[in-house]
A and B are shown apart, each in its own frame.
Chain A
């Protein structure tokens, strides 16, 4: 019998309980051949497969998964956090179902440390008390509450655009905007590292897509050249796996020269970059050159949802054509009230951004000083390059047991053997968190020959 979630909860509530090692049931291979060798396969091998049965890859995956899970993929199944995403967290480790306590948290993207602030919690409770749990309708029918309008207005004011539109998630916002605007026969050009929601939005739009090599402006120009129709270029302010910035000045210049509209996804940069926190576009002084500003509420504001900001006529149009918004329930009132409060704090307390950037400087310097490869990061997203798809799991386990919780990024989320850890630095981290966390990370990396 596999350990169940119930079983896991029992272990957590019983401090004396030792993790029970449950021998897996002998498993019959779903295929007639030998079980796939763990090290030779990854998720990408189970995506495509022709045959007569739609479950053909499900069976093959089921042959591979038990060994893969035990070997490290359990780190991807979602290890339950038992505390708020504060800087020290408890989690339920998903291999042996043991509780790991007081881990230094570099995994949550709560960049300004807002999700658990008392004033935000109070705003959520108050709105939930007044409006109840949900909006109970699509935003274009009965789902828009006064809170939603207030949030859209305040986001637009913050972004210094004429209007904005609120979506239930960042993913749905990208889907809604891209598929709402672009059509079959149009061209979307995006960076090869574009987020899945951008790619899925393009797929949904049926527009032709060309990917340019990451931040290589010459390749962007090559991909735009000689296309006669409507062109949209989509870049991200901060790329979420590498923490580097779009080369926006050059990108804007190329787009203008080729008559392409520009959309920037500021999921990891809004409320952080720029003098006023308006994002990478503000950082480069190019806000007015951007046609579509996109962002999420789940990163710096610590809630959930997405927004698109731009001209009034663009927002009017998208209100009618962004299907992912029209056919989803509006955000719950408690969430919206929390976001309103978070937005207010993000603007009223610039010292949070100052603290964040100080923390980023401390963390980057400590890592670099020890020879840790942090790639080309220039943001609060700091990768630690491991470049070994097998060992990344083993080192991650060591880090967990050393007391550090961070994200593992492995193929196919990044290229083969471009595996890494991803650190999210927040304004909430104390100097002790950063120093102790870095010390632990370096200790483990050193043991594994990844730094000096």
Chain B
């Protein structure tokens, strides 16, 4: 399978502390939560505004738990994550990601608004009139990067890893300026009792870049 590329205008991400028990309850048995401090796992949210891909342009929200990367030689990833809930704005994008990457999805279309102004971006995620989550991320210095991540997925019988390269303009910091509001929506139900902090300990934001998936590996 060739490399799969997704061009994006915005990739807005934030890491929040959550209880390690909550993280462990979400992760499959072969993965452990990465603890940012004792008994505190990491909940990661990433909101994408994709401009071009095999399935056209679409919006996507990814809810994930951070886990330690799998080290078996090769380049060292910046971090690794297990996406446990993905929402997309189009059926084509959803079917493509389920088929190709085994990503678990919310099966209805969602909507997303990206509102960027004066050093921050607010993302509203919703399904029709129902709010799902509101995310605010702020900027630090911008730089060009090409980062490697690992994504773990599963299906009924197998475990997978995908290496993902994120290339583009990037800013990152831990000034704790951002915010998340999780609404009582089915997309969030796995995490509403996971003691997630309302402010991110890390904010990451990429612009005008490309996300490249390498071939899926069975692990």
> Which residues of A are interface residues toward B (Cβ below 8 A)?
31-34, 36, 40-41, 45, 48-52, 56-57, 60, 63-64, 199, 202-203, 208-209, 211, 213, 387-388, 411, 415-418
Contact = CB atoms under 8 A, between A and B. Distances in A.
Contact of B70 (A40, A50, A208): A50
Given A64-B76, A415-B202, A417-B140, 14 more contacts: A31-B74, A31-B76, A36-B75, A45-B76, A48-B68, A56-B71, A63-B76, A199-B38, A211-B17, A387-B140, A415-B175, A415-B201, A416-B172, A417-B175
B8 interface: no
Interface string B29-42: 00110100111100
B38 A49 contact: no
Interface of B is mostly: loop
Interface string B133-170: 00000001100010100000000000000000000000
Contact of A209 (B38, B74, B79, B201): B38
A203 B20 CA distance: 13
B70 A415 contact: no
Contacts of A57: 71
Contact of B173 (A41, A63, A211, A417): A417
Contacts of A388: 141
Given A60-B76, A415-B174, A417-B175, A50 B141 contact: no
Interface of A is mostly: loop
B69 interface: yes
B106 to A, nearest CB: 28
A202 B38 contact: yes
Contact of A415 (B38, B74, B173): B173
19 contacts: A31-B73, A32-B74, A33-B73, A33-B76, A36-B76, A40-B145, A45-B79, A48-B69, A50-B70, A52-B72, A56-B72, A63-B76, A202-B38, A208-B39, A213-B176, A415-B176, A415-B201, A415-B202, A418-B173
Contacts of A60: 71, 76
A418 B174 contact: yes
Contacts of A208: 39
B58 interface: no
Interface residues of B, number: 33
Closest 10 CB pairs of A and B: A415-B174, A48-B68, A33-B75, A32-B73, A33-B74, A49-B71, A416-B174, A51-B71, A417-B173, A56-B71
- Most chain A CB within 10 A, of B75, B173, B197, is at B75
A203 B172 CA distance: 30
B48 interface: no
Contact of B71 (A40, A50, A415): A50
Interface in B59-73: 67-73
B84 interface: no
A53 to B, nearest CB: 8
A52 B73 CA distance: 11
Contacts of B38: 199, 202-203, 209
A48 B69 CA distance: 7
Interface in B176-219: 176, 197, 199, 201-202
Contact of B147 (A32, A40, A211): A40
A35 to B, nearest CB: 9
A387 to B, nearest CB: 8
Contact of B78 (A34, A40, A63, A411): A40
A218 to B, nearest CB: 11
B69 A49 contact: yes
B76 A209 contact: no
B191 to A, nearest CB: 17
Contacts of B172: 416-417
A381 to B, nearest CB: 20
Nearest to B174: A415
A385 to B, nearest CB: 11
B76 A211 contact: no
A49 B68 contact: yes
B151 to A, nearest CB: 14
A370 B39 CA distance: 42
Nearest to B75: A33
A260 B190 CA distance: 31
Contacts of A31: 71, 73-76
B58 to A, nearest CB: 29
A64 B76 CA distance: 10
Contacts of B79: 45
A224 to B, nearest CB: 14
Contacts of B74: 31-33
Contacts of B199: 213
Contact of A411 (B17, B67, B174): B174
A293 to B, nearest CB: 24
- Most chain A CB within 10 A, of B68, B71, B172, B174, is at B71
A339 B175 CA distance: 40
Contacts of B17: 211
Contacts of B76: 31, 33, 36, 41, 45, 60, 63-64
B22 to A, nearest CB: 13
Contacts of A51: 70-72
A49 to B, nearest CB: 4
